[in-house]
Amino acid sequence: MGRVRTPGIKREEILDEFEKSGLSGVAFAALVGVKYPTLASWVRRRRRKPGAAKPVREVRFLEAVAGKDASATDTAPLERELPCGARLRITGLTQVPLAVARIRGLRPC
């Protein structure tokens, strides 16, 4: 498709979401459909702006239990807001492969 220009406002939204996500740059770039070198250059440019605060990354942990004894009835559903406002809700282990396929198929907003 060639070079795609991203408006400044959209770029800032993507960078805000990246800082909140806790994902690596490579993983986040793949998730939103941007090449990693492009995302890295946006981050670098943003951090060089005068008065730019250093990002504070919140550490997030997610406990995942999988096995024959795990069932959808004994735990609360897993819910996650994805970039661009998409929401993901998993209520059982059988939905995990579908969720992975859907996340991989997300297009950039």
What are the CA-CA distances from residue 56 to residues 6, 19, 41, 42, 85 (Å)? Answer: 25, 8, 19, 17, 22
Q: How far apart are the first and last CA of the chain?
A: 16
Q: What local confidence, expressed as pLDDT, does residue 15 receive?
A: 92
> What is this structure's pTM?
0.47
Of 41, 60, 79, which one is at a domain's C-terminal end? 60
Tokens of 26: 């490579």
What's the whole-number mean pLDDT along residues 89-100?
80
In a shared domain, residues 41 and 94: no
Q: What local confidence, expressed as pLDDT, does residue 10 receive?
A: 92
Residue 72: band (very low, low, confident or very high) from pLDDT cuts 50, 70, 90: very low
| CA 9 to the chain's CA centroid | 18
Q: Domain limits at 80?
A: 63-109
Q: What's the pLDDT tens digit per position in 21-51?
A: 888 899 899 988 899 999 999 999 988 888 7
Q: Is residue 64 predicted with pLDDT exceeding 90?
A: no
**What's the number of domains the chain is made of?**
2
